[in-house]
Amino acid sequence: MISLDLDFVRAQFPVFSHPESASWAHLENAGGSYVPDHVISLLQDFFVASKVQPYWEFGPSAKAGEAMDRSLELLPATFNANKGQVHFGPSTSQNTYVLAQALRPNWNVGDEIIVTNQDHEANIGVWRRLEMTGINVIEWGVDPETGLLDISEVRNLINDKTRLLAVTHASNLAATINPISELAEMVHSVDGVLVTDGVSFAPHAAVDVKELGCDVYLYSTYKTFGPHVGLMFTSDAILERVTNQGHFFNSEKPTALLTPAGPDHAAIAACAGMIDYYDDIFRHHFPGSSEVTLRERITKVFELFGQHEQRLMTPLVDYIISQDDFRLIGSRSSDHNVRAPTVAFHSHSRSSEEIYSALVKAGVSCGHGNFYAHRLVEAVGLDPEDGVVRLSLVHYNTNEEVDKALNALDDIG
């Protein structure tokens, strides 16, 4: 079986040669991942050679437009979607905000939206605020012990008045993969819309909106080795139902409807660097397989990432669940088909701040608190300020970095 060549992977990331940054075991990837050379060089090229209004005929402007078009062309493959179905906004929070405004005119007073208390606030607050306009917002709550959602409970909440269900693919704390395709079927049976936040899932596996059957899927590229752009897939049917949130004279352009504040041009252009990176990983691990499509290459690359991440997270998850003093939030499995490699936990005897400080002293980048999953942290009975300690891995992490965290945790205990 082919496994990920970590030396090759890490050689693509200049941060690992940076005199100060390289000394940290970066286990705060769920907050933002490092970027490979591919992204940095596109960003630099744009700023040096084409930092002008794009899409005019003069050289630098035409070049800027071409660089942006390349991203618009390539990035839909990361969703298994088509060009024109993916909107490039400034962030996921901004994209859900705009989407909520765009969908609201479809609904009547008394219609219902279901939100969870497991999601990041980006996929809760914008829907909850529609209560002010007469929408009834129903909460699908987590198990207060595990932080997990039970699909049998939402079955009882969905009814003829349900217009939308907003749910995370994998929470940024509980990290457990929710059964999106089953949820899509349930919501579609009452002609409702499924909005899935994939920000914490997309860095770890190839997203497939066709297989998942979701109507809207969002993720942010600063978690997937790129600059900060919010990518939002909408199905063709949804696009027909949204009211234009952009300038009136752009209403014929599908990808302008939901991006009144597009992100900066350079950031859009640099997103193609993520694809260049995946392609280099593919070529290195599967030499001679040049016939396969971009989508197939992305899928293969993420399979390698997932297998490596599973090997990394196993000792960490096992350690946390073996300690009586620690409580893990979310699934106790280390199977990468069950959970993302984000490990959020707390101690029964010490504050999360104390544990986090000890980890940072030992050279581990991490954080503590609610990570904007404020409602989840409260639902599992914790103070949202102190919250949980979060150690989040991606494919470029090493066993040594995980060991650094484990040794620090052992020293505290």
Ligand X SMILES: Cc1ncc(COP(=O)(O)O)c(C=O)c1O
Residues in contact with ligand X by the rule CB under 6 A: 91-93, 120, 122, 168, 172, 197, 199-200, 220, 230
CA angle (233, 234, 235) in 5-degree steps? 125
Structure tokens at 51: 């930092």
How far apart, in whole angstroms, are the C-alpha atoms of residue 282 and residue 81? Answer: 20
Structure tokens at 273: 């660097």
| Nearest distance from C-beta of residue 6 to ligand X, angstroms | 25
Is the Cβ–Cβ distance between 183 and 212 less than 8 Å? no
How far apart, in whole angstroms, are the C-alpha atoms of residue 53 and residue 4? Answer: 40
How far apart, in whole angstroms, are the C-alpha atoms of residue 203 and residue 181? Answer: 19
Q: Which is nearer to ligand X, 174 or 281 (CB)?
A: 174
Find tokens 């690992």 and name the residue: 16
Q: State the CB neighbour count (10 A cutoff) for residue 358.
A: 16
| Nearest distance from C-beta of residue 98 to ligand X, angstroms | 12
Is the Cβ–Cβ distance between 46 and 264 less than 8 Å? no
| Nearest distance from C-beta of residue 91 to ligand X, angstroms | 3
Q: Which is nearer to ligand X, 97 or 319 (CB)?
A: 97
Partners of 105 in the β-ladder: none
Q: Which is nearer to ligand X, 102 or 122 (CB)?
A: 122
Residues in the chain: 413
How far apart, in whole angstroms, are the C-alpha atoms of residue 329 and residue 346? Answer: 8
| Nearest distance from C-beta of residue 230 to ligand X, angstroms | 5
Q: Which is nearer to ligand X, 197 or 309 (CB)?
A: 197
Is the Cβ–Cβ distance between 281 and 11 less than 8 Å? no
Structure tokens at 124: 């809760």
Q: Which is nearer to ligand X, 319 or 345 (CB)?
A: 345
Is the Cβ–Cβ distance between 341 and 204 less than 8 Å? yes
Q: Which is nearer to ligand X, 282 or 356 (CB)?
A: 356
Q: Which is nearer to ligand X, 28 or 215 (CB)?
A: 28
Q: Which three-class secondary structure state does DSSP give residue 219?
A: strand
Contacts of 7 (CB under 8 A, 6+ apart): none
Q: What is the DSSP string of 101-134?
A: HHHGGG--TT-EEEEESSS-GGGTHHHHGGGGGT
| Nearest distance from C-beta of residue 156 to ligand X, angstroms | 26
How far apart, in whole angstroms, are the C-alpha atoms of residue 255 and residue 85? Answer: 7
Pairing of strands 364-365, 230-234: unpaired
Q: Indicate the residue type of 351.
A: S
- Going by C-alpha positions, the residue among 5, 66, 63 that lies closest to residue 395 is 5
| Nearest distance from C-beta of residue 287 to ligand X, angstroms | 35
362 φ, ψ (degrees, to nearest 5) = -85, 0
| Nearest distance from C-beta of residue 228 to ligand X, angstroms | 7
Structure tokens at 380: 């599992």
Q: Which is nearer to ligand X, 29 or 255 (CB)?
A: 29
| Nearest distance from C-beta of residue 199 to ligand X, angstroms | 3
Q: Which is nearer to ligand X, 64 or 229 (CB)?
A: 229
Q: Which is nearer to ligand X, 42 or 195 (CB)?
A: 195
